[in-house]
Amino acid sequence: MGNADTLSAEGSGSVTAYRVKKEDGHLSDAHRHFCKLCGSALYVSDPRWPDLVHPFASAIDSGLPTPPEYVHIILDSAVPWAEVPGGPKDVTSPNSRPTPSRTGTSATASTAPDRPCPTPPR
């Protein structure tokens, strides 16, 4: 999330927006902005919160500040071979607690035989 007044985009003539039609038939208030030439997702805005903008990470091409910590979520749904960092700035959300054997480690194909991936990760 960012401040809308800090948003700067080159080629704004190629940016268009889409609003989702909800189940009740009404359009969502959120506007999903994307490049009308290539389809790249850029950011989401909502007139209910005009001061905020939600850029997609893939659309940010400027430097970002270093966060004070890195929060890892949904670890209970992670594949067995997923590597979970365990540094001093790494924390897990209260609702997502990895087993101690998974923190800061990576499983190999031999320890994760039921994984859906046909080849081990590299």
Residue pLDDT, tens place only, 13-32: 889 999 999 999 999 999 99
Residue 118 has pLDDT above 60, yes or no: no
| Residue 95, pLDDT score | 66
| Residue 31, pLDDT score | 93
Share of the chain residues as helix, strand and coil, in percent rounded to the nearest 5: 10, 25, 65
Residue 120 has pLDDT above 50, yes or no: no
Alpha-carbon gap, residue 94 to 85, rounded angstroms: 16
pLDDT > 90: what percent of the chain? Answer: 21
Residue pLDDT, tens place only, 93-106: 776 655 544 445 44
Residue 115 has pLDDT above 60, yes or no: no
pTM for the whole structure? 0.52
Alpha-carbon gap, residue 37 to 115, rounded angstroms: 38
SS3 16: strand
Q: How confident is the model at residue 70 (pLDDT cuts 50, 70, 90)?
A: confident
- Concatenate the DSSP letters of all residues of 82-104 into one string: --B--STTEEE-TT----TTTBT
* Domain map (residue ranges) of the chain: 2-59, 65-107
